[in-house]
């Protein structure tokens, strides 16, 4: 084994246990939560104990994501925003409902 092969690799398959990082009493606002990376991030934050607010333009996908997450965890706020970037009021409305965002 060379010194190079002994170095940690980003390609090594590792899992992170929820006890390693606790997000209890933290708020996570996840946009794009209906599918893909946003959905995975929302599920991971929920798994690690974060209080979730999820948002997406895809209302049906968002409902599916919320239903899946709520089988195991809780979600504080679900916001369907058809034109999220154009309608900043959606995001301004989220902040008072979820409190401080870190």
Catalogue all structural domains in the chain, each as residue range(s) with its CATH number: 24-86 (3.40.50.720)
| Cα distances (Å, whole numbers) of residue 53 to 60, 91, 93 | 16, 11, 11
The pTM (predicted TM-score) of the whole model is: 0.67
Task: In whole angstroms, give the CA distance from residue 41 to residue 19.
Answer: 17
Task: In whole angstroms, give the CA distance from residue 28 to residue 20.
Answer: 18
Task: In whole angstroms, give the CA distance from residue 78 to residue 76.
Answer: 7
Task: In whole angstroms, give the CA distance from residue 27 to residue 76.
Answer: 9
pLDDT per position as a tens digit, 64-85: 999 999 998 888 878 787 654 5
Provide the pLDDT confidence category of residue 57 given band limits of 50, 70 and 90: confident
Q: What is the pLDDT of residue 66?
A: 92
**Residue 8 predicted with pLDDT over 60:** no
Instruction: Look at 96 and 77; give whichever has higher pLDDT.
Output: 77
């Amino acid at each position: 084994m060379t010194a190079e092969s002994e170095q940690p690799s980003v390609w090594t398959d590792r899992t992170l246990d929820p006890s390693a990082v606790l997000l209890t009493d933290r708020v996570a606002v996840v946009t794009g939560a209906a599918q893909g990376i946003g959905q995975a991030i929302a599920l991971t934050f929920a798994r690690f104990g974060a209080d979730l607010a999820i948002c997406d333009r895809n209302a049906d996908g968002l409902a599916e994501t919320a239903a899946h997450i709520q089988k195991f965890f809780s979600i504080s706020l679900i916001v369907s925003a058809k034109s999220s970037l154009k309608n900043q009021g959606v995001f301004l409305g989220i902040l008072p409902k979820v409190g401080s965002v870190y």
